[in-house]
Amino acid sequence: MKIKFWGTRGSIPVPDSRMIRYGGNTTCVEITSGKSALIIDAGTGIRKLGEDLVRRRISRFSIFLTHSHWDHIQGFPFFQPIYATKTKVRVFGCTSSYQHLRKILQNQMSYEYFPISFSDLKSQISFGDTCAEGYRINDWRVTTIRTNHPAFTLGIKIECATGSFVFITDNELMHPAPHTTRDEFVRFCRDATYLIHDAQFTEKEYADRKGWGHSTFEQALTLARDAAAKNLGFFHHDPNREDDHLSRLEQKFARQGSRYGCTVFAAREMDELVV
């Protein structure tokens, strides 16, 4: 199982030279095994991914949407494969608490916001608006967990014969009234080969942002420690977080993680992992 980051930024894309090393596109992650592909979220990073899928002649894949906040769906109308008749894509997630996935993406492409309507797309798009706790995609076992975020949001765990990949973005681990407890997250992340977790704020920044649905670097690190994750990747970088500052934070927490055998890094756009 190969994982590639196409967008690692949170909230809003930042086309800024000060953020070039870690990337300015919003959330999009690709998981592949052979010709099988699963895409997590459709932030602005999905535009470049779409070009790459066309180049690789991959026309069948799934898209898992953690939730429908703007930075996780805003790249969908610019996703090249959805304009091709040979493309077959399954979109799934759990948004039935407010609107179904199809309606969300249709509304996004209404004439007030975009020149091409959803009904004009040539690809075959099916929807699995499911809140199932577990299912299978290809040879992967997939389970989900509800995060602590203002919108109904899911984290996802993908397990294969060689290990596990856990992706939890937009999650406030220390939320004062959590939907999911910290102990539940520890169990969900137990022994993960790679844990990629929201780390938008420093502890100082978080003091004024409680309830926003995001975690700190320290909180993500202690979760990885308690869950015995082998590798921790910080994700959903704050749009104001410049490369130099993020690099210093990465080095600081990498030293701390090494004390108990966890490799710590900040996710970078275009980086690849193998499980």
Helix (H) or strand (E) holding 166: strand 163-168
Mean pLDDT, the chain cut into blocks of 10 residues (275 residues total): 97 96 98 89 98 96 95 98 97 76 93 96 88 78 95 95 97 96 98 98 97 97 98 98 98 97 98 97
DSSP alpha helix (H) spans, the chain? 46-56, 101-108, 182-189, 203-206, 217-227, 243-258
Spatial CB neighbours of 221, under 8 Å, sequence gap ≥ 6: 232, 253, 256, 257, 262, 264
The pLDDT value recorded for residue 35 is 76
Which residue ranges form the domains of the chain, and what is each CATH number?
Answer: 2-269 (3.60.15.10)
The pLDDT value recorded for residue 84 is 98
The pLDDT value recorded for residue 138 is 77
CA distances from 117 to 69, 82, 109, 235 (A): 20, 12, 5, 32
The pLDDT value recorded for residue 129 is 65
